[in-house]
Amino acid sequence: MSSNDELSENEDGSVDIFIGPDEPEGLVSNWIETIPGTDIFIGLRVYGPADEMLNGEYEMPRFERVK
């Protein structure tokens, strides 16, 4: 997955991102492949951040583990 990919959106406009070693059926455009048996680290890179990010008010949404 890269910033050039067109992501599949849900009906409400939200986007589900799948992170793991196995490709989700039919949702390859929303998949970030990982190496089996390893931990992952989620980072956030922001360009031109809003004041909420700079002053510590912004809280990154939680990730939900699904199977």
DSSP 8-state symbol, 47: S
* Tokens 């050039």 -> residue: 4
Looking at the 3D structure of the chain, how many domains does it have?
1
Q: Mean of the per-residue pLDDT values for the chain?
A: 84
* Tokens 């931990």 -> residue: 39
Q: How confident is the model at residue 3 (pLDDT cuts 50, 70, 90)?
A: low
* pLDDT tens-place string over residues 18-47: 888 988 887 788 888 899 988 877 788 889
Contact 8, 29 (CB under 8 A): yes
Interior CA angle at 19 toward 14 and 25, to 5°? 80
- 27: helix, coil or strand? coil
Residue range of the domain that includes 30 = 1-67
